[in-house]
Structure 1
Amino acid sequence: MGLNDPAPFGLFNAAGASPFLLIGDHAGAAIPGALGDLGLAAADRRRHIAIDIGVHGLGHALAERLDAPFVHQHYSRLVIDCNRDPMRDDAIPVVSDDSRIIGNEGLDSCARASRVAAIHAPYHRAIADMIDARRAAGRDTILLSLHSFTPVMGGIARPWEVGVLHWRGRTDFARAMLAALRDKAAFTVGDNVPYAMDATDYTVPLHAFSRDLAYAEIEVRQDLIGTAEGQRIWAGHLRHAAEAALQRIS
């Protein structure tokens, strides 16, 4: 990366005192200067294929309300997807939602390894170091992974306001947060929808499963958090749900 490029990750409220650690794998849309625009039009670089819309602001607002650190990615998932095993082909996609990513075509192993070393590895090292430091200090960690989803995909409407994803390991907190969100009668809450956590996911399995941490992956619909006001509103909803879930498992 060049001197004018962002750092490989952002860290907000590092000294947060709560047990929650927030992460945002797809919170950024930056592209290293050396890669130009990846062959994408400006409109594509603002789409969901490049960034989880709203998660950057949501994560900061929720970190303030929970007094939690927020570790987030500055770079676009189209440069390298930090929620994918870097050895997978789709960690650096050549097509996403019918958009061709010209700048990712024909990469050799050295070009791929360079992106892993510059962006993917430092981001995950930062998360691991923070968890391990908290454990060494006798502090618990509950991992909250923040994502967002489109209101419509493939012409099919997605009616959920929010989804809670879980798979293996300690699912108690995710299930408690699901129940807490469902206590809000106005919400349609998805259980492993619109996406299901599985072997394609990387961040939560890597950091939570291996350390037996409580966790939840949260997906919020993008039209609800596309503005600063929406992000503040949903930070409030998620704060209440997370604190209620913590009480349920304590």
Structure 2
Amino acid sequence: MSDPRGLLGPGDPEPVGFVDRGDTSPFVLICDHAGNAVPKALDGLGLEQAELDRHIGIDIGILGVSEDLAEKLGASLVYQRYSRLVVECNRRVTSPDSIALVSDGTIVPANADLSPAKRTERLDEIVVPYHRQIEVILDRRASAGIPTILVSMHSFTPSLRAKPFQRPWQIGLCYGADTRFTMPVLDELALEANLIVGKNEPYGVDLAKDYSIPVHGEERGLPYVEFEIRQDLIGEAAGQSEWAARLGAVLPAAYRRFQVATA
């Protein structure tokens, strides 16, 4: 049977990574910017590999943290393999930076003058399968009446090139209207000495432009937490293991707080 896709070819990786550990854990992890793959047809987006390897192309270190954390929690993990510069999985299609023309001062040549058909290809073949897999696992749990905490994993650069400023936070929590689970997590993190925690820093959740937390969390009524870990802390395996261990203790403790508060 011929491949109906027009963008992704036989040599390209599948967009969705999925580790299914069943539904015994209350947590489901998602990772929007885990990879920096580019379809062969797009020829690296006209960029040097060094650009795809920095924060504009991938959330550095976060996949390693997410894989380790999901294993510790016995939780399922859904992650995206393609670069956010190909198409941004955490933006609504109406957002102007769904396919960025410029990112932190870097012009993305292959994103200029895209026809509607070419934009639709990227959405249909990369974004849609990712969010469909998240929907499948969340629907499965909802149908079985299983309580779910959505955990969204990200990392952030210590400083932007376009707007240089040393970001002091080691970890940030991003949230919108629903803070039911975010607050217990903040309470647990506050118990750790010398940990600088950002509240909606370095980013908040934009309910109008963002996708993952607004749609899978807020619109479903699911409690959630969205983490942003500073990339220089998790660029190597040792740091990834350290942060997975930290969050592997924080999340169950926060869940116990959450259960008491919502009983």
TM-score range, shorter chain: over 0.9
- Residue 54 (structure 1) aligns with: 61
Q: Distance in 2 between matches of 1:64 and 1:173?
A: 21
Are 2:121 and 1:108 aligned?
no
SS at match of 1:156: coil
SS at match of 2:150: strand
Contact 1:25–1:82 (CA under 8 A) maintained in structure 2? yes
Letter in 2 for 1:7: E
- Show the 5 A alignment for 1:14-93: 14-15=21-22, 17-93=24-100
Q: Distance in 1 between matches of 2:210 and 2:94?
A: 13
Q: Distance in 2 between matches of 1:101 and 1:160?
A: 29
Deviations 1:43-101 (A, max 9, x none): 10101000000111111000011111110000000010000002322110010011010
- Residue 168 (structure 1) aligns with: 177
Q: In percent, how many aligned pairs have the same letter?
A: 45
C-alpha RMSD of the superposition = 1.0
Contact 2:159–2:166 (CA under 8 A) maintained in structure 1? yes
Contact 2:21–2:74 (CA under 8 A) maintained in structure 1? no
Gaps of 5+ in 1: none
Q: 1:155 aligns with which of 133, 143, 164?
A: 164
Q: Distance in 2 between matches of 1:19 and 1:94?
A: 39
Q: Distance in 2 between matches of 1:12 and 1:61?
A: 12
Q: TM-score, normalised by structure 2?
A: 0.92
Q: Distance in 2 between matches of 1:119 and 1:14?
A: 23
Deviations 1:146-180 (A, max 9, x none): 000111222211111101111113x1101110111
Give the superposition deviation at 1:13: 3.8
- Residue 237 (structure 1) aligns with: 246
Give the superposition deviation at 1:16: 5.4
Are 2:150 and 1:146 aligned?
no
Give the aligned length. 249
- Residue 137 (structure 1) aligns with: 144
Q: Distance in 1 between matches of 2:164 and 2:40?
A: 34
- Residue 4 (structure 2) aligns with: none
Contact 1:163–1:219 (CA under 8 A) maintained in structure 2? yes
Q: Distance in 2 between matches of 1:105 and 1:13?
A: 37
Moved runs in structure 1, 4+ residues, more than 2 A? 13-17
- Residue 178 (structure 1) aligns with: 186
- Residue 258 (structure 2) aligns with: 249
Q: Distance in 1 between matches of 2:234 and 2:87?
A: 24
Q: Distance in 1 between matches of 2:130 and 2:21?
A: 14
Q: 2:124 aligns with which of 103, 117, 129?
A: 117
SS at match of 1:190: strand
SS at match of 2:181: helix
SS at match of 1:31: coil
Give the superposition deviation at 1:115: 0.6
Q: TM-score, normalised by structure 1?
A: 0.97
